Structure 1
Amino acid sequence: MRSTPPEIHPPAADGRDGVPTVAGGALLAVAVVLTALNLRPAVTSVAPLLGEMRTDLAVSATWAGLLTTLPALCFAAAGLAAPRLSSRFGLGRTISAAMLALTVGLAARVVDGPHVVIGATLVACAGIALINVLIPVVIKGSFPARVGLMTGIYTAALQGGGALGSAVTPGLEDPLGGWRLALATWAVVAFVALAVWLPAARRHRGTWAEQSRVSARPRSLLANPLAWTVTLFFGCQAFMAYIVMGWLPQVFIDNGIGKLHAGLLVGLVSLIGVPVALVISPLAARSANQSGWIVGLGVVGFAGAVGLMVAPAAQPVLWSVLIGVGMGAFAMALAVIALRARTSEDTAQLSGMAQGFGYLLAGTGPFLFGLLHDMSHGWTVPWTMFLVVYAVQIVAGALAGRARYV
């Protein structure tokens, strides 16, 4: 395991193709933000309209369960393939193709029946998975002195896009005449992001190609203990995030809180993550060691989970705020991926490993939480499992946050 910190060289005055680096950097920063805004609405826009979709398509609850499980499984499978695709076809081209797949998938899923919805969702989620893995590589390679700031902005845009997907889509259904055009709106947003990404990627392709000149046989991180620690940290926080998104509304409703209020509380959890990402991630990245920040966020979120287990209806707003702060670990997990790698190649390998295996773990979270609820006929046992995983996340995060390199 190498421990020498990476060298950071200042950018050249002029980019490739005679384009000033500052202008190219600004365009690329905008492209990253627009891309991030599109990485969650493909998933979050479906949940509020799922009832109407089932009625219109005459499908079963099993079909609905498959549709909502696909993202995590797809994130895992395509995420593991991202480093190899990037190495073969180039970083810019791979992300461009992924953005195109996302746009086409979002547009195609509304044109026909249930099989097309599933297939097109698979295409869109495959595109999202590739982008999830490769954007940290872009940030590491193109903003080496601003990794924390750009990671915070990217994470805030990603979480904000998720909140918009669930909040805005239901309001589009009536004006646009149904769920199909309401969901199709996000294909237009994805197309705009693609239109900005293409020229930004073209400006930087020379730099990315130079950074990508590595050995023909990329180094595997599967035997690297630090890489597995980062993967465990990422997987645990994603495991709990999927549980919160999938089950927290029902927990509130079963404890006497109205459906509308419960939905607003879950929206609050997502929104809290935006300022946390914008403020905490850049501050933490300036330190050689991020362990203290990770543990601090974990303790706050752990306290919120205890409140939800013991007395969910007593202080639901407080518990939601605490859980939302704790879910800021997502921004820290992305920052750690970039900060624990010395090169763009290692960043791609670590990002693919952490997100690939991490989302496999995350996909089991909602299922296990629901299974334990059914078996115990209550919420105490599943919340106990949640707290155990939270403790593992805090420990893994503290180890992953130390100033070491894979």
Structure 2
Amino acid sequence: MACETRSDTLDQCEHDLALEPELRPGVLAAGGVLLTVAVVLTALNLRPAITSVGPLLGEMRGALGASAVWAGVLTTLPGLCFAAAGLAAPWLARRIGVSRAISVGLVVLTAGLMARVLDGPSVMIGGTLVAAAGIALINVLIPVVIKGSFPLHVGLMTGIYTAALQGGGALGSALTPALGDVFGGWRSALGGWALLAVLALAAWLLASRDVGHISARDASPSTAKRSLLRNRLAWTVTAFFGCQAFLAYVVMGWLPEVFIGNGVSQANAGLLLGLISLIAVPISIFVSPMAARHDNQSGWIVGLGVLGIAGVVGLLIDPGFAPLLWSVLVGLGMSVFSLALTVIALRARNPQDTAQLSGMAQGFGYLLAGLGPLLFGVLHDATGGWTVPWAMVLGVYVVQMVMGAFAGRNRYV
């Protein structure tokens, strides 16, 4: 753990670094550039498999003769797959190592992206679930790499990783229709994202020597493991991550529909949703490093939460009055995702605990997130309006801020 970012004494920090020489800052100087490139390329692959589907969903349904129920399953199940595969990631990392587990994740992602465009509706769903399983493994394990290989730059690297992840999501939704026009249809457009996954796999294999020490430690059977399921701070971090993911899924799934229902054109509604994703990129790059330099991240978490609540209040009162303003505020609030990942790394003392905490927070967190769009839609159907659903969102936001305030305090699981 970085001496300059923690409250430990200098002697204790030197002792910790002596016990774990592989966590010295020299890792960054020696091979950090290549590893950073690999992390960025990997992060760019973690959203296009999902966000590339939306713009082509109507064309896909027409070509495959699929129902609206099929479309709902296609867009909902990946989140649940994130939860299941995310919980399995620490187990896999202990057996084959972090580096190999991430390589496996990229291979699985590539296979899913290629397979899902080869046949009909069932193959599309199956391939998407395979791709989502690969994404889930990587989601959980990249924070472990950041913790182990960049211990003095956790905030900066988390910000870079999160920015690339968000940027990849925006590229998936923005470029896929154009790829379809260029390459002759939706199958080529969706399958083409496998090339980016292959590129990331090549970069990762070249850079994996820099995380070999993490792999060996996590795969070692002699490493004593302890469960975090009875750890109060671990559940606090999980609740914080789950609440922010819940809110993000609601916004991504329903905000365009809310805008369209209040007089915003379909094109502008899509642009506003894209803006929300793009806002997170600079926030991730600058806010995460600044927050990580402090012992306590609670103020940053609460501050972004207040901005998000202001946007939701605007959506609750009159979505069509100032949709651009509401979108900017909501986007700033959703940028807390980068801090959620930063907190996972900072609340653990070593890569082993980081792996457990990351798997727990993202596994259970994405399970909670999968309920968000469903609950929002049920409340909308039951009440015939948007007031009650947005009131529910406000309630979750309050819980997120409270859990985030506790998760941001300088403690360890």
Contact map agreement 2:22 2:213 (CA 8 A) in 1: no
Q: Does 1:40 align with 2:39?
A: no
Q: In angstroms, what is the RMSD of aligned CA positions?
A: 2.0
Cα deviation, 1:340-396, whole Å, max 9, x if unaligned, reads 000111000000000000000000000000110001000000000000000000000
Give the Cα–Cα distance (whole angstroms) in 2 for the partners of residues 186 and 250 of structure 1.
Answer: 27
Give the Cα–Cα distance (whole angstroms) in 2 for the partners of residues 390 and 99 of structure 1.
Answer: 33
* Aligned equivalent of 1:193: 200
Q: 1:21 to 1:267 in 2, by over 3 A?
A: closer
* Aligned equivalent of 1:82: 89
Letter in 1 for 2:316: M
Letter in 1 for 2:128: T
Q: Does 1:337 align with 2:344?
A: yes
Letter in 2 for 1:309: L
Q: TM-score of the superposition, structure 1-length normalised?
A: 0.95
Contact map agreement 1:308 1:319 (CA 8 A) in 2: yes
- 3-state secondary structure, aligned to 2:372: helix
Give the Cα–Cα distance (whole angstroms) in 2 for the partners of residues 55 and 237 of structure 1.
Answer: 34
Contact map agreement 2:27 2:150 (CA 8 A) in 1: no
- 3-state secondary structure, aligned to 1:342: coil
Matching of residues 237-316 of structure 1 within 5 Å? 237-316=244-323
Gaps of 5+ in 1: none
Q: 1:218 to 1:12 in 2, by over 3 A?
A: closer
Q: Does 1:362 align with 2:354?
A: no
Q: Does 1:181 align with 2:207?
A: no
How far off its partner does 1:184 sit? 1.1
How far off its partner does 1:122 sit? 1.1
* Aligned equivalent of 1:67: 74
Q: TM-score of the superposition, structure 2-length normalised?
A: 0.93
Picking from 124, 144, 148, the partner of 2:151 is 144
Letter in 1 for 2:272: L
Picking from 176, 179, 183, the partner of 1:169 is 176
Letter in 2 for 1:9: L
How far off its partner does 1:104 sit? 1.0
Q: 1:398 to 1:109 in 2, by over 3 A?
A: same
Give the Cα–Cα distance (whole angstroms) in 2 for the partners of residues 288 and 20 of structure 1.
Answer: 23
How far off its partner does 1:218 sit? 1.5
Give the Cα–Cα distance (whole angstroms) in 2 for the partners of residues 121 and 189 of structure 1.
Answer: 16
Q: Does 1:118 align with 2:97?
A: no
How far off its partner does 1:9 sit? 3.0
Out of 23-32 and 387-396, give the one that drifted further: 23-32
Give the Cα–Cα distance (whole angstroms) in 2 for the partners of residues 339 and 13 of structure 1.
Answer: 18
Give the Cα–Cα distance (whole angstroms) in 1 for the partners of residues 362 and 186 of structure 2.
Answer: 31
How far off its partner does 1:203 sit? 4.2
Give the Cα–Cα distance (whole angstroms) in 1 for the partners of residues 352 and 278 of structure 2.
Answer: 33
Q: 1:311 to 1:14 in 2, by over 3 A?
A: closer
Q: 1:14 to 1:132 in 2, by over 3 A?
A: closer
Out of 193-202 and 207-216, give the one that drifted further: 207-216
Letter in 2 for 1:261: N
Give the Cα–Cα distance (whole angstroms) in 1 for the partners of residues 388 and 28 of structure 2.
Answer: 54
Picking from 6, 9, 18, the partner of 2:17 is 9
Gaps of 5+ in 2: 1-5
How far off its partner does 1:22 sit? 2.6
Contact map agreement 2:89 2:359 (CA 8 A) in 1: yes
Give the Cα–Cα distance (whole angstroms) in 1 for the partners of residues 258 and 136 of structure 2.
Answer: 29
Contact map agreement 2:149 2:210 (CA 8 A) in 1: no
- 3-state secondary structure, aligned to 2:192: helix
Q: Does 1:326 align with 2:333?
A: yes
Q: 1:207 to 1:74 in 2, by over 3 A?
A: closer
- 3-state secondary structure, aligned to 1:9: helix
* Aligned equivalent of 1:97: 104
